[in-house]
Amino acid sequence: MTPTKLEIANIPPYFRCPISLNLMSDPVSLCTGITYDRVSIERWFDDGNTTCPATMQHVHSRDLTPNHTLRRLIQEWCVKNLSQGVERIPTPKQPADLLQVQHSLQDITDGYMRLDNLQRLHSLARESEKNRRCVLEAGAVPVLASVLASLQNVRLNVDQDDPGEELDKDSMDMMSESVCECEEALGTLALLPMNEKNRKALTGPTQLDHIKWFLVKGSSESRVYAASLLGNLTAVEHDVEFKLAVASQDLLLEGLVSLLKEGNSNPKGAIASLKCFVAICSARKNRLKAIDVGVVPVLVDKILLMPDNSDNQITELAVCVLELLCACAEGRAAVCDRPLAITALVKIVLRQSKLATEHALAALWSVCRSAPDAEIQLEAVRAGLFTKLLVLVQSDHSPRTKAISSHLLRLLQNTWRENSLECFIVKPLWKGALDTQRFFCFFLFFLGGTGREIQRKYSVTIFFSSRKK
């Protein structure tokens, strides 16, 4: 249900959460009598707050009582507004019970209805953040890690070297069930937050080898689970040794690239793979390995140059990886060798999020200042980077973005001057803040002269093009 559709539907104010101001999907009441959306109020308490957000009264009990009457009213309102694109909110499920989760974990350990219990655990973890904390508190990580370790016996049969040896039907069914159990365990582990103790249960060579096996040979879902879990495990900045061990695994980086090649057709897989590359490439020694497996062409062709690329998170992560790789000479060379890579990076500036703009500028700065010839700088100027930089230095972007913009302006000004452009369109590229007149004055000040002098000196025609609201 998109925000635009909800705005059209005109949500009644008493259906909105006082914290998020969005339509409530699981309304719950505090002891103060105020109703909130469960996700919002739980996040409020998780941040260390001890008061009711609306009344600022101290809350003596954090018990949340489901407001069934309000939920039914919201559901009825959603049904009445189906024609306006509003979807009916589902009836929320009850939160996980710690004792029941512990019983399920004990049954998994004892081998009793193992697959059913693993599926139940995975379903609980998918439902909410509170359920994930409950599963974690029940001690699920060591149990799930032991299930994943049982993959070794399955792999001995699946990866057997003797093609002439066939397995009977019972053995095949047993193997299939064991793989399904491991997939469910892997999916649950990928959802759980990892502390240092839990990470140690999953970062050993054997466990890492099993995760890699699913990444390379698993089903479509299990490949995403494996990449997500690797992303969580490698997200710790100080554990450089583990990041080096991950990159040293045969075919692991190739598996991540294969998942990344699916691009926007598999957004969850692309995000999981990109998060892994961001974490892995934070270690300098791993950047050459990532370049060697061909991640740069995939990032440019499958993400940055895709016409339907509208996912900001995918773009942000992709240009973040490129920024890391452009910190070394091999990465810059790979970007320069890829057709339209510079144009794709310039296109992101001011068209995607502020974070994506910052990463794209950082990558462009690394490439342009180290370019062996002027062709790269000229390509950036022709793609419209110079105009965007003039806007950025006066914008409300981050200090780092503005500093990089200033450096690039100084670097590219000679390239712009030496290549006569027939027409320079001054077009407002921002919303509010600056008007066209201020931009034009700054533009003339930067080039050094009046409008008539600039047109004569650089052989350009300057005119204004207003943006329609």
Q: What is the 3-state secondary structure (H, E, C) of 49-65?
A: CCECCCCCCECCCCCCE
pLDDT value for 82 = 84
Which of 112-121, 192-201, 369-378 is modeled with the greatest confidence? 112-121
pLDDT value for 441 = 52
pLDDT-based confidence at residue 164 (cuts at 50, 70, 90) = very low
Do 122 and 180 meet the contact criterion of CB atoms below 8 Å apart?
no
How many Å apart are CA 30 and CA 52, to the nearest integer?
8
Q: Calculate the CA 377 to chain-centre distance.
A: 30
Report the amino acid identity of residue 116. Answer: D
Report the amino acid identity of residue 108. Answer: I
Residues sharing a CB contact under 8 Å with residue 373, sequence separation 6 or more, in sequence order: none
Lowest mean pLDDT among 32-36, 70-74, 135-139, 424-428: 424-428
pLDDT value for 174 = 59
pLDDT at residue 307 greater than cutoff 80: no
Do 318 and 311 meet the contact criterion of CB atoms below 8 Å apart?
no
Residue 358: burial class (beta carbons within 10 Å; 0-12, 13-18, 19+): buried
Report the amino acid identity of residue 312. Answer: N
Lowest mean pLDDT among 162-171, 199-208, 329-338, 359-368: 162-171
Do 296 and 325 meet the contact criterion of CB atoms below 8 Å apart?
yes
Query: What is the helix, strand, coil percentage profile of the chain, to 5?
Result: 65, 5, 30
pLDDT-based confidence at residue 442 (cuts at 50, 70, 90) = low
Which pair of tokens denotes residue 104? Answer: 């399920």
Residues sharing a CB contact under 8 Å with residue 444, sequence separation 6 or more, in sequence order: 450, 451, 454
Lowest mean pLDDT among 110-114, 179-183, 236-240, 315-319: 236-240
Lowest mean pLDDT among 47-61, 168-182, 359-373, 382-396: 168-182
Mean pLDDT of the chain: 81
Report the amino acid identity of residue 304. Answer: L
Mode of pairing for the β-strands spanning 27-29 and 65-66: antiparallel
* CA 326 vs CA 274, 363, 413: distances in Å: 16, 6, 22
Which pair of tokens denotes residue 328? Answer: 């070394």
Q: What is the mean pLDDT of residues 194-205?
A: 85
Judged by phi (left if over 0) then psi (alpha if -120 to 50, else beta), residue 423 lies in beta
pLDDT-based confidence at residue 272 (cuts at 50, 70, 90) = very high
- Number of helices (H), then strands (E), in the chain: 26, 5
pLDDT-based confidence at residue 162 (cuts at 50, 70, 90) = very low
pLDDT at residue 425 greater than cutoff 50: no
pLDDT-based confidence at residue 452 (cuts at 50, 70, 90) = very low
Which pairs from 142-146 meet CB under 8 Å and 24+ separation? 142/201, 143/105, 143/108, 143/109, 144/185, 144/188, 144/189, 145/185, 145/189, 145/201, 145/202, 145/207, 146/109
pLDDT value for 450 = 43
Closest Cα partner for 395 from 386, 383, 409, 405? 405
Give the ranges where 192-311 is alpha helix by DSSP (H).
196-200, 205-217, 220-234, 240-248, 252-260, 267-280, 284-292, 295-299
Do 270 and 258 meet the contact criterion of CB atoms below 8 Å apart?
no
How many Å apart are CA 175 and CA 220, to the nearest integer?
18
How many Å apart are CA 37 and CA 335, to the nearest integer?
46
- Predicted TM-score (pTM) above 0.75: no
pLDDT value for 184 = 93
Judged by phi (left if over 0) then psi (alpha if -120 to 50, else beta), residue 278 lies in alpha
pLDDT at residue 211 greater than cutoff 60: yes
Length reported for the chain: 469
Do 444 and 451 meet the contact criterion of CB atoms below 8 Å apart?
yes
Do 380 and 341 meet the contact criterion of CB atoms below 8 Å apart?
no
How many Å apart are CA 388 and CA 419, to the nearest integer?
18
How many Å apart are CA 323 and CA 189, to the nearest integer?
30
pLDDT value for 237 = 76
How many Å apart are CA 27 and CA 48, to the nearest integer?
21
pLDDT value for 141 = 93
Query: Is the domain 3-84 a CATH 3.40.50.300 member?
Result: no
Which of 150-154, 174-178, 393-397, 446-450 is modeled with the greatest confidence? 393-397
3-state secondary structure of 463: strand
Lowest mean pLDDT among 24-33, 108-117, 144-153, 344-353: 144-153
Give the residue range(s) of CATH 3.30.40.10 domains in the chain.
3-84
Residue with tokens 């009264």: 57
Tens-digit pLDDT profile for residues 226-251: 999 999 999 887 888 889 988 888 89
How many Å apart are CA 182 and CA 180, to the nearest integer?
5
Which pair of tokens denotes residue 229? Answer: 């879990």
Identify any residues that bridge with 423 across adjacent strands, giving them in sequence order.
Answer: 461
Compute how many other C-beta atoms are within 10 angstroms of the C-beta atom of residue 223. 23
pLDDT value for 151 = 75
